[in-house]
């Protein structure tokens, strides 16, 4: 993931006195989400063309799955941000109903469209799509129901984890609701400790049915979300940032740390090559390294004052808007690329297949955004206007930036 993000030409340590919360929408986050979506696409193309078996480089391509850590950290930051700000007297957090309504509008319509298209039209999926596969995929329960991750939809395990986080987030906010005002300083160590404890999830003997692994459930990935939650707490905590802002806002420094963590994750420290299950200690190491990657890539964007020229560009912003569609459609497109262009899976042509997959995915992602995602979000906003009292502007300050996938 880190290898795809160009360095900014802005000064490394320029840090505004005004907290990022006051700036509202952070355009660079859109660009980072675009890079994460393309990272997920890249690692799947690499796997299905056999590029992951290439010495040295193969492990690098394979570990671009760390882009998921960036997605999760983005969600943690954007969705926790109103709660962190409210604890410090900056606006109010949205109600649970408002929050869940907008999460559903953001995620479900476009996702259901892809599931129906794949299970009806993609031969490899439709031939085996019984009632259990349909219900599990429509309900985002694939990580709990055996043998329901199907062709064209296998990447949706991460969306299942993401939606589980959406449902748990109000409970996490309630757990620290008393840490407000002067006690808000305890929220950072509380979240840090929570993420640290969750690193040990894979050591627990959780009983699961065959073909289901508890390390694909939300508790195992909470450290990645916690990375973004920590940034949401830090962004308005002037007392903490007075000492650490220069370091955390330094894009060269933080991205160098992220790159180092990425390279370490591409060794056996982050798990064995291929689809072989990792040992519990390797799982812990991968989660820890992913937490570092997500935190370090985002910290300069939300705490620093750099312009982040590429991530704020029109191209990056457009790809960021389409990023959810890129994530949803790219595996279905990849399944079509091989037979249509007469390419054998796992037999090479990595660059060729990558270009074809991107070229065919982007129009579908653009259509998904224009025809499904934006109309659904517009419908949710119209529902808000019909409900009184209206949500305070501060409660929805992060909405324009929140395109979590």
Look at residue 239 in the predicted model and tell me its pLDDT. Answer: 64
Residues 6+ apart with CB under 8 A from 241: 15, 234, 235, 248, 303
Has this prediction a pTM greater than 0.85? Answer: yes
Q: Out of 270-274, 379-383, 394-398, which region has the weakest mean confidence (pLDDT)?
A: 394-398
CA–CA separation, 371 and 354 (whole Å)? 26
Look at residue 401 in the predicted model and tell me its pLDDT. Answer: 37
- What's the gap between Cα 32 and its chain centre? 10
Look at residue 389 in the predicted model and tell me its pLDDT. Answer: 56
Look at residue 5 in the predicted model and tell me its pLDDT. Answer: 33
Helix ranges, 176-311 (H): 187-198, 218-234, 238-248, 251-265, 280-303
**Angle, alpha carbons 227-231-233 (nearest 5°):** 115
Percent of the chain's residues with pLDDT above 90: 66
pLDDT greater than 70 at residue 4: no
Chain segment 281-335, per-residue pLDDT in tens: 999 999 999 999 999 999 999 988 767 888 999 999 999 999 999 999 999 999 9
Query: 402 falls in which pLDDT band (50, 70, 90)?
Result: very low
pLDDT greater than 50 at residue 185: yes
Average pLDDT of the segment spanning 46-69: 93
Helix (H) or strand (E) holding 126: helix 123-126
**Which residue would you say has higher pLDDT here, 13 or 155?**
155
Average pLDDT of the segment spanning 139-147: 93
Q: Which of 246, 296, 238 is nearest to 12 (CA)?
A: 246
Average pLDDT of the segment spanning 269-285: 86
pLDDT greater than 60 at residue 240: no
Look at residue 273 in the predicted model and tell me its pLDDT. Answer: 82
Query: 388 falls in which pLDDT band (50, 70, 90)?
Result: low
Look at residue 163 in the predicted model and tell me its pLDDT. Answer: 97
Look at residue 137 in the predicted model and tell me its pLDDT. Answer: 95
The CA–CA distances, whole Å, from 107 to 71, 100, 163 equal 14, 11, 8
Average pLDDT, the chain: 87
Query: 211 falls in which pLDDT band (50, 70, 90)?
Result: confident
Helix axes 96-121, 323-340, angle to 10 degrees: 10
Could you please report the per-residue DSSP string of 151-180? TT-TTHHHHHHHHHHHHHHHHHHHHTTT--
Query: 393 falls in which pLDDT band (50, 70, 90)?
Result: very low
Look at residue 26 in the predicted model and tell me its pLDDT. Answer: 86
| 377-403 residues labelled b (16+ CB within 10 A) or e (exposed) | beebeeebeeeeeebeebbbbbbebbb
Structure tokens at 291: 């937490």
Chain segment 86-139, per-residue pLDDT in tens: 998 888 899 999 999 999 999 999 999 999 999 999 988 888 888 999 999 999
Helix axes 218-234, 67-87, angle to 10 degrees: 50
Chain segment 17-53, per-residue pLDDT in tens: 334 444 467 889 999 999 999 999 999 999 999 999 8
């Amino acid at each position: 993931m880190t290898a795809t993000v160009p360095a900014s030409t802005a000064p490394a340590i320029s840090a505004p006195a005004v907290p990022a919360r006051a700036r509202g929408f952070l355009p660079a986050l859109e660009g980072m989400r675009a890079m994460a979506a393309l990272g997920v696409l890249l690692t799947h193309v690499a796997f299905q063309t056999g590029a992951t078996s290439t010495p040295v480089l193969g492990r690098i391509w394979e570990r671009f799955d760390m882009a998921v850590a960036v997605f999760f950290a983005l969600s943690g930051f954007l969705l926790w941000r109103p709660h962190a700000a409210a604890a410090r007297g900056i606006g109010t957090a949205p109600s649970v109903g408002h929050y869940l309504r907008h999460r559903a509008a953001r995620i479900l319509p476009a996702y259901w469209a892809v599931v129906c298209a794949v299970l009806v039209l993609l031969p490899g999926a439709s031939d085996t799509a019984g009632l259990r596969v349909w219900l599990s995929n429509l309900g985002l329960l694939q990580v709990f129901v055996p043998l329901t991750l199907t062709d064209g939809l296998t990447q949706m395990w991460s969306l299942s984890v993401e939606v589980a986080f959406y449902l748990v987030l109000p409970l996490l906010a309630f757990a620290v609701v008393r840490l407000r005002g002067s006690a808000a300083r305890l929220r950072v160590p509380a979240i840090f400790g929570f993420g640290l404890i969750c690193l040990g999830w894979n050591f627990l003997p959780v009983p699961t049915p065959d073909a289901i692994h508890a390390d694909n459930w939300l508790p195992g990935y909470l450290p990645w979300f916690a990375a973004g939650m920590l940034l949401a707490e830090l962004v308005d905590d002037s007392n903490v940032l007075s000492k650490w802002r220069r370091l955390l806002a330094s894009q060269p420094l933080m991205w160098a740390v992220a790159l180092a963590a990425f390279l370490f994750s591409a060794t056996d420290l982050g798990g064995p090559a291929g689809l072989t299950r990792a040992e519990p200690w390797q799982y812990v190491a991968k989660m820890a390294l992913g937490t570092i990657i997500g935190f370090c890539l985002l910290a300069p964007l939300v705490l620093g004052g750099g312009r982040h020229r590429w991530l704020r560009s029109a191209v990056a912003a457009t790809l960021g808007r389409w990023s959810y569609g890129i994530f949803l459609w790219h595996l279905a497109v990849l399944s079509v690329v091989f037979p249509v262009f007469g390419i054998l899976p796992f037999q090479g042509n990595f660059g060729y297949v990558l270009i074809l997959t991107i070229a065919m995915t982007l129009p579908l992602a653009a259509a998904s955004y224009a025809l499904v995602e934006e109309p659904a979000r517009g419908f949710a906003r119209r529902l808000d206007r019909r409900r009184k009292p209206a949500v305070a502007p501060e409660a929805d300050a992060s909405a324009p930036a929140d395109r979590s996938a």
